[in-house]
Structure 1
Amino acid sequence: MNKDTLAAPINPARRDFLKTTAAGAAAAAASSFVELASTGKEASAFAYEPYYTDDQLTTMVTSCAHNCGSRHMLVAHKKGDVIVRLSSDDGRYQAGGAFGFETEAVPQLRACLRGRSYRARLYSAERLLYPMVRVGERGEGRFKRVSWDEALDRIAKKMIELKDTYGPTAILDQSYAGASYGVLHKSDQIEGLLARFLGMFGCRTSSWSVPSYQGTTFSSRTTFGTIEDGNEDDAFAHSKLIIMWGWNPAYTFHGGNTFHYMRLAKQRGCKFVVVDPQYTDSASAYDAWWIPIRPNTDAAMLAAMAHYIFVNELQDQAFINRFCLGVDAGTMPDWARGHENFKDYILGTYDGQPKTPEWAAEICGVAADDIRKLADMYARTKPAALKASWSPGRNAYGEQYNRMAAALQAMTGNIGILGGCAEGVGKGWHAEAVAYPYDEYANVWSASIKSDRWAHCVLNYPDVRREEIGLWPRADQFDGVIPNIKAIWWHGSDWFNQLTNINKEIEAIRKLELVVCADSTITPSGLWADILLPVATHFERHDVALPWYKGHYYIHRPKVIAPLGESKSDFQIFTELAYRLEALDPARLSGFGKRYNPKADRSYFENDDPVDEAYLVDWWHRVQSHQGVTMSWEEFKQRGVYKFEFAQPHVAFRDQIEKGVPFNTPSGRIEIFSTTLAQVSDWTKTQYGYPIPAIPKWIEPFEWLGDTGKAAKHPFHLISPHPRWRTHSIFNNIPWLRETYQQEVTIAARDAERLGIRTGDVVEVWNERGKVVVPAYVTERCMPGVLVLHEGAWMDLDDKGVDRAGNPDFLTDDQPSPAGAFAYNTVLADVKKTTLEHRPGWDSLATARSIVFRRDY
């Protein structure tokens, strides 16, 4: 800045005005300004920190890391060892790309508002920076800082004691994809680092069910033989009709570029329908026909659509005859000719109740004429995508909704064609997922139970029947043996905050002898731990990002900054623990450390860089071999991203329909009649525990508005969809996002008027399982009789056990649902205005909650 620049008038009129009207302090300020200008001195202080330009910063490509359904590119701009801002894909990083480059086949991988707020999460007040141990009562949230040696020694000694005292099921593995997810540093039920660590140690109770879509998983595997039943999202651009059944892609990303391709479909004349208790932002964006439906009744409406299609002979009979099993009598296997087939169930041949639109209207609250109209649209429009999303499957008997949707997809011939849709789980292109070794991947499913039944198991042990907890069958002497759970290990998961019936979990956790939480953030689950281990974030370790749900790309994740505080990667933590356990029990655990991490020695705890790179290089060689990638590892590191370009959109089951490749089911066909389910002789010996019909059926849930007795006591059906501003509970503590959206319960205007509730009023929502306090949002965009409370809010309990933050899982039930579906949306509740205290979140307190973790108790 030079003298002439400072002296030149910027706005002469403004300066003249100041000269004639200012006095006192203003005159003094002007005098100082003139003196500064006349001497040529530069200003030495600013009222704000200067905003660095890109040429002053180091730029590094990385990605998001949470399990939101996409994982897209982030570009970290750092000064020294501090990330000062984040941007996203702009087209220039891929091979042959330039600024702004994007095609329909190769889209940019732009991060959403959650990903762009990652810097606030990285440097949040709730960041866990040091090992800590509990000094107060469990759940009280009082901890003191300890060394890594003390923390790991305590854990190792207790692990040996638990295994020796209670046997090989004493430690419950509750890892998931919250904080650690890459090809090397992975928290996951099946492929995760904790799973392998506890399995090799020989003491692990696992969880076999996925809360988001377990009923859907059952449906896809039963019907198609795989969960990879999804098209890549560019296929949506070729649809002529898209039915968003319980799906709000404006909030929940299933591939990240979903909205882009659906917008292309809209521009090309596609029609949109939304079947949902809410008029969502997606319905608004696509000017969709909104069909409000009572929660948990989706299978009944789909059955009525099938009835209309059958009686009007609108089904694709040629497709049915060639590719399907059990749609009608003619497609039943010879050995099952006397069994119930789908068409006869729909027509009422067996039970005397035709599943007509009028029958369904009484159940689901949708007019019979609207059911007929939608069925006619779907049957006559080709190609049409019935996107049966996960949310309606998160209820009692949720698998029946997805199986019913699959039956309609099949009977209309919309499977395996461009613009159609077979999606249940909807996973598309398959990524190479794991970089670390499988040489002793032992005990993975040993003593595996349904995730949200652990509290029931702990509270009732040993008087527990295997079907009560979804005990996985085994072919050895431990089959049917109830796990004696005495410890929980949370790894990259906030499951204590996220599983059903939290009050039951609170009762159970008080009975445990050890609770460990390994995470990068102090979460509500961490408050209930005995030992907290600080895990380095994905900005602080070397890895590669995978597309989670859809997307055909890999993103390099360098170590952008050094780990904050004393954070270590999860792989470092488990490797060091393996060596310590080996030292404590050399006879049984000889070589444990080296076997767990073959490329490392014990120095890995202090320096992971060369080892991590070696694993990733080997993984990249597999990618080159298996997937035809020609880019070298060094070029991949330099560019930061590799995007696969397909000759045509990826369509699930295209080869089955076009080339006659068998489906991966026992019959090689789309099994609307499940040959596996039809031949189960003893349901108690399966992980499901209870009978599941061989064909899709409407089954009345254990809690819904049609149950007049229960609805008289609790007259609202509560649903808890995913919010736009969080990924489950991740990002709940980010002020930027909380300033934009708040946790609130949505209520229909008609119901609110009757109860005297206005927008902004604090209300309590309750049932026999718990009570939460939250502000109300009154709207016409919600079906009467329905409450909407988004999942994932960080619980905040008062001294009476009331959650002041509005976490709906104080109201949900952990009752078993056949096929493993989580009943998050099977909830009856009541609502009223209240004087109870509402606490909107930890970040809104005058002092950050994390201060309690900095004290020396």
Structure 2
Amino acid sequence: MTIHDRPEAVDTPQSQSRRAFLKTTAATATAGLVLGAGAEEAKAFAYEPYPTDDELETVVTSCAHNCGSRHMLVAHKKGDVIVRLSTDNGAYQGDAYGTDTEEKPQLRACLRGRSYRLRLYSPERLLYPMKRVGKRGEGKFKRVSWDQALTEISQRMVHLKDTYGPTAIVDQSYAGASYGVLHKSDQIEGLLGRFLGLFGCRTSSWSVPSYQGTTFSSRTTFGTIEDGNEDDAFAHSKLIIMWGWNPAYTFHGGNTFYYMRMAKQRGCKFVLVDPQYTDSASAYDAWWIPIRPNTDAAMMAGMAYHIWDNGWHDQDFINRFTQGMDPGTMPAWAQGQESFQDYISGRSDGVPKTPEWAAEICGVSADDIKKLAEMYATTKPAALKASWAPGRNAYGEQYNRMAAALQAMTGNIGVLGGCAEGVGKAWHAEAVAYPYDEFSNVWYASIKSDRWAHIVLNYPNVSREEAGLWPRNDHLDGVIPNIRGIFWQGSDWFNQLTNINKEIAAIRKLDSYGEGESLLVCMDSTITPTGIWADYLLPIATHFERHDVALPWYKGHYYIHRPKAIEPMGESKSDFQVFTELAYRLGFGPAYNPKANRDYFNNPDWVDEAYLVDWWHNVQSHQGVTWSWEEFKKRGVYKFVLPEPHVAFRDQIEHGVPFNTPSGRIEIFSTTLAQTPDWTRTQYGYHIPAIPKWIEPWESLNHPLTEKFPFHMISPHPRWRTHSIFNNIPWLRETFSQETTMNASDARKLGIQTGDIIEAWNDRGKVVTPVYVTERCMPGVVVLHEGAWMDLDENGVDRAGNPDFLTDDNPSPAGAFAYNTVLCNIRKSDMSHRPGWDQLSTARSHVFRRDL
């Protein structure tokens, strides 16, 4: 109905009364203003008017999280308070206002970054050190001084190391809240890793939940994880296959949509292979191919068969650049062993991987598999963007390796508009400002990240295969760590790793050891579900409250200056301050932070500046930056203008530079895997085939377990959170809800409608959420976004809807996390959903504001 179609208004007693009330109040207000006799002056606001731009100081900064990029934020502040945030307008590098070009696009923040004030000033900000006084997980803490907290932590660290050895404390740092060139939480380059390495007690976590299967594939196939093009290369593609990729939510680059829109305008066709029809498919009018979860490698094998069967492969590319794609490219030492073509054709196992064979497994028709294979093989250049999500499965590495084989056999690697992406790291950023030396990644044991709970629960009866234990060349090789402590730095891993109920049981066991025999420390800027289970909560300053430089995340070629926009709130400190002070208490302060003295805990600014100046000089010498440090600080952002789009492996294809693999080629047949004599002595523990293969996962819609659990649950990343970060932001929760998406035909059979409360469960746990019924999800599949903050009832049911109560920590051989390998059942429920943490943002903050 348009405005012209509206019926005439009809007077009713109610509307007449309302108009009379408005006229009366308006007249009264006017009389008061005009007469002013005995009346106070009318005010338009009940509080101070919102400040205008000319009253505010503008500070260029950025977001700090791994949402798919790190965009520019512009803080507008009055005094020491940020009153609003804006983003890049194109003018900050000295260009004209509105500059937004293919060579120098704007770095516009997403809705998460734009909402950051609500995280900065959240009622759940950690403002003071806190010590647990209630039962583990009960959420009862009292405020203590920094001196008391750090004294007790350091004393307990020494006790655990002396009593239980150099592997007693687990490093669970991650890039959740502290990621810059100086203030860094990270498994490899992080501040915690170096601190525990110098202390001499560290069990590392070697696997990355987001893309470990992909990391394995990229290193095995290409010899590097820097296998990505910069996103401007997408603008030159004629076909983009979004395989498990929803760039509207996880774009993997600062300007992905900008360049993909360019591609669309230039005639590029789009395809989505995914169990659900995403917003990205809608935006690009993509051909949607629904696929059963965990069966991607089978479909790709069917595509490879059809490409070979029709002669659409690029034999010249195969001959020049690959190893083991076919019998003719097998190395001399492996003659007679199985090549990829032997497997696909069925010569080696008697099972041709035809489109018809694949269709039975993946639920995609053979005709659609053939059509996509032809499109991909005959369209030049074409980008098969094999995203991380299908690799977060049992045997997820096989999907990524199969995708790399398709990319290579069609000659779409190293060419503009093609794509070799697995991990997708592109342009190289200079990433470290703090001391990076021999202690930066020292560990005495390294386990697969989500196996810590299994180790605690079963110690000492744990095999190295179960632990995912990395091999060593000393007396600690194969020694299962006796885990007694965990540092959670910039990570909400307790909420985010697989099989949360198993983690809870492990925490309970640590608690049973007795007073002082375990240590759980959570370092973050807000209360988190992980922090609820800690012994100590240490308040960490946000990136608005410390000096640093932002790095692009996987894609993008720029640096953003991050000044200290406001003073730290409460008694917040940076991670670097905390670890430096702990290092002094433990006897190695000068070694840990050589530019500082003991006063760094109270006066860090000049030291941070000194480290960043040295880093900038390194950038100038290595990357040709001409600006001075002062100019960079003044402008706030430095955008590199590349002479041509950055294309991974262009030098290898155009100039004959060897790939960084044992053979110098793209290894479809892996030298390392083929020559591994004893898999039990690897960090993987189990055999991994030398070529990509379809391997049946332990749970799928093809499994007999569907008789008990008929739905396959996938848990993609939401648009409104970065994993669990931003879950408690009211603005974002007004826009999106934590709900389970299911197909309309499935819902009809169960008598379920949109808005009903349902429970999803399996043998590992149960969650409660509202349901959204749609045709945009294939039958048999349910979608529940990861990252909701757990909220357990008295029976251990998660009323908030965190899917990781249903996921399995069973180790996939190459380290892939099986977040999307989940069978469950669904039913309508009379239990209530409790979004508590998000919609009722102050519901629990009182717990952390009282002294007990």
Please classify the TM superposition score into its range, dividing by the shorter chain length: over 0.9
* Corresponding position: 1:829 with 2:824: yes
* Corresponding position: 1:776 with 2:776: no
Matches within 5 A, 1:48-67: 49-67=48-66
Q: How far apart, CA to CA, are the structure 2 residues paired with 1:443 and 1:237?
A: 39
In the alignment, what sits opposite 1:518?
Answer: 523
Q: How far apart, CA to CA, are the structure 1 residues paired with 2:717 and 2:598?
A: 42
* Corresponding position: 1:717 with 2:722: no
* Corresponding position: 1:599 with 2:604: no
Q: Pick which of 506-515 and 778-787 moved more.
A: 506-515
Q: How far apart, CA to CA, are the structure 1 residues paired with 2:236 and 2:262?
A: 8
In the alignment, what sits opposite 1:70?
Answer: 69
Q: How far apart, CA to CA, are the structure 1 residues paired with 2:841 and 2:279?
A: 34
Q: How far apart, CA to CA, are the structure 2 residues paired with 1:536 and 1:823?
A: 33
Post-superposition shift, 1:69? 1.8
* Corresponding position: 1:232 with 2:230: yes
In the alignment, what sits opposite 1:249?
Answer: 247
Q: Find the partner of 1:612 among 596, 608, 611.
A: 608
Q: How far apart, CA to CA, are the structure 2 residues paired with 1:496 and 1:19?
A: 57
Q: How far apart, CA to CA, are the structure 2 residues paired with 1:596 and 1:19?
A: 73
Q: Find the partner of 2:634 among 623, 638, 643.
A: 638
Question: 1:424-447 CA distances to partner (integer Å, 9 max, x unpaired)?
Answer: 001100100000012342553430
Unaligned runs of 5+ in 2: 1-16, 511-517
SS in 2 for 1:510: helix
Question: 1:444-466 CA distances to partner (integer Å, 9 max, x unpaired)?
Answer: 34300000000001111111100
Q: How far apart, CA to CA, are the structure 2 residues paired with 1:19 and 1:814?
A: 65
Post-superposition shift, 1:843? 3.6
Residues 193, 34 of structure 1: CA spacing in aligned structure 2 closer, same or farther, 3 A cutoff? Answer: same
Q: Find the partner of 1:380 among 373, 378, 381.
A: 378
In the alignment, what sits opposite 1:317?
Answer: 315
Matches within 5 A, 1:108-119: 108-119=106-117
Q: How far apart, CA to CA, are the structure 2 residues paired with 1:848 and 1:82?
A: 24
Unaligned runs of 5+ in 1: 1-16, 583-591
SS in 1 for 2:288: strand
* Corresponding position: 1:570 with 2:565: no
Matches within 5 A, 1:286-435: 286-435=284-433
1:70–1:255 contact (8 Å) kept in structure 2: yes
Question: 1:750-797 CA distances to partner (integer Å, 9 max, x unpaired)?
Answer: 000000000000000000000000000000000000000000000000
Post-superposition shift, 1:331? 0.2
SS in 2 for 1:222: helix
Post-superposition shift, 1:840? 1.4
Q: How far apart, CA to CA, are the structure 1 residues paired with 2:345 and 2:99?
A: 54
In the alignment, what sits opposite 2:654?
Answer: 658
Residues 328, 515 of structure 1: CA spacing in aligned structure 2 closer, same or farther, 3 A cutoff? Answer: same
Matches within 5 A, 1:148-163: 148-163=146-161
Matches within 5 A, 1:76-87: 76-87=75-86
Q: Find the partner of 2:560 among 537, 555, 558.
A: 555
Which amino acid in the other structure matches residue 691 of structure 1? H
In the alignment, what sits opposite 2:623?
Answer: 627
Post-superposition shift, 1:53? 1.4
Q: Find the partner of 1:544 among 549, 553, 557.
A: 549
Post-superposition shift, 1:19? 12
2:189–2:441 contact (8 Å) kept in structure 1: no
Question: 1:500-557 CA distances to partner (integer Å, 9 max, x unpaired)?
Answer: 0000000001222110000001000000000000000000000000001110000000
In the alignment, what sits opposite 2:464?
Answer: 466
Residues 500, 465 of structure 1: CA spacing in aligned structure 2 closer, same or farther, 3 A cutoff? Answer: same
Matches within 5 A, 1:808-847: 808-845=803-840, 847=842
Post-superposition shift, 1:35? 2.5
2:733–2:839 contact (8 Å) kept in structure 1: no
Post-superposition shift, 1:45? 6.2
* Corresponding position: 1:848 with 2:843: yes
Post-superposition shift, 1:23? 7.0
Post-superposition shift, 1:845? 3.3
1:173–1:206 contact (8 Å) kept in structure 2: yes
2:274–2:288 contact (8 Å) kept in structure 1: yes
In the alignment, what sits opposite 1:277?
Answer: 275
Question: 1:32-62 CA distances to partner (integer Å, 9 max, x unpaired)?
Answer: 11134x9999655613542211110000000
Post-superposition shift, 1:254? 0.5
SS in 2 for 1:437: coil
In the alignment, what sits opposite 2:743?
Answer: 748
Q: How far apart, CA to CA, are the structure 2 residues paired with 1:479 and 1:515?
A: 26
Q: How far apart, CA to CA, are the structure 2 residues paired with 1:568 and 1:19?
A: 57
Which amino acid in the other structure matches residue 687 of structure 1? Q
Q: How far apart, CA to CA, are the structure 1 residues paired with 2:359 and 2:567?
A: 60
Which amino acid in the other structure matches residue 823 of structure 1? A
Question: 1:176-229 CA distances to partner (integer Å, 9 max, x unpaired)?
Answer: 000111000000001010000001000010000000000000000000000000
In the alignment, what sits opposite 2:692?
Answer: 696
Q: TM-score, normalised by structure 1?
A: 0.95
1:208–1:445 contact (8 Å) kept in structure 2: no
Q: How far apart, CA to CA, are the structure 2 residues paired with 1:638 and 1:26?
A: 51
SS in 2 for 1:511: helix
2:189–2:440 contact (8 Å) kept in structure 1: no
1:536–1:569 contact (8 Å) kept in structure 2: yes
Post-superposition shift, 1:749? 0.2
Post-superposition shift, 1:648? 0.6
* Corresponding position: 1:530 with 2:535: yes
SS in 2 for 1:354: coil
Post-superposition shift, 1:739? 0.4
Question: 1:331-366 CA distances to partner (integer Å, 9 max, x unpaired)?
Answer: 000000111000010000011000000000000000
1:200–1:443 contact (8 Å) kept in structure 2: no
In the alignment, what sits opposite 2:672?
Answer: 676
SS in 1 for 2:316: helix
Residues 390, 23 of structure 1: CA spacing in aligned structure 2 closer, same or farther, 3 A cutoff? Answer: closer
In the alignment, what sits opposite 1:200?
Answer: 198
Which amino acid in the other structure matches residue 149 of structure 2? A
Which amino acid in the other structure matches residue 803 of structure 1? D
Q: CA RMSD in A?
A: 1.5
SS in 2 for 1:820: coil
Q: TM-score, normalised by structure 2?
A: 0.96
Q: How far apart, CA to CA, are the structure 2 residues paired with 1:161 and 1:506?
A: 24
Number of aligned residues: 829
Q: How far apart, CA to CA, are the structure 2 residues paired with 1:434 and 1:22?
A: 64
2:740–2:770 contact (8 Å) kept in structure 1: yes
Q: How far apart, CA to CA, are the structure 2 residues paired with 1:440 and 1:670?
A: 31
Which amino acid in the other structure matches residue 612 of structure 1? D
2:460–2:480 contact (8 Å) kept in structure 1: yes
In the alignment, what sits opposite 2:446?
Answer: 448
In the alignment, what sits opposite 1:32?
Answer: 32
Q: How far apart, CA to CA, are the structure 1 residues paired with 2:841 and 2:184?
A: 35
Question: 1:361-400 CA distances to partner (integer Å, 9 max, x unpaired)?
Answer: 0000000000000000101000000000000000000000
Q: How far apart, CA to CA, are the structure 2 residues paired with 1:670 and 1:43?
A: 76
Post-superposition shift, 1:103? 1.0
In the alignment, what sits opposite 1:126?
Answer: 124
Residues 43, 336 of structure 1: CA spacing in aligned structure 2 closer, same or farther, 3 A cutoff? Answer: same
2:727–2:838 contact (8 Å) kept in structure 1: no
Which amino acid in the other structure matches residue 167 of structure 2? T
Q: How far apart, CA to CA, are the structure 2 residues paired with 1:276 and 1:266?
A: 20
- Identical pairs, percent: 79
Post-superposition shift, 1:475? 1.0
1:445–1:472 contact (8 Å) kept in structure 2: no
Residues 62, 443 of structure 1: CA spacing in aligned structure 2 closer, same or farther, 3 A cutoff? Answer: closer
SS in 1 for 2:814: helix
* Corresponding position: 1:788 with 2:786: no
Post-superposition shift, 1:258? 0.5
Question: 1:669-715 CA distances to partner (integer Å, 9 max, x unpaired)?
Answer: 000000000000000000000000000000000111111x2010000
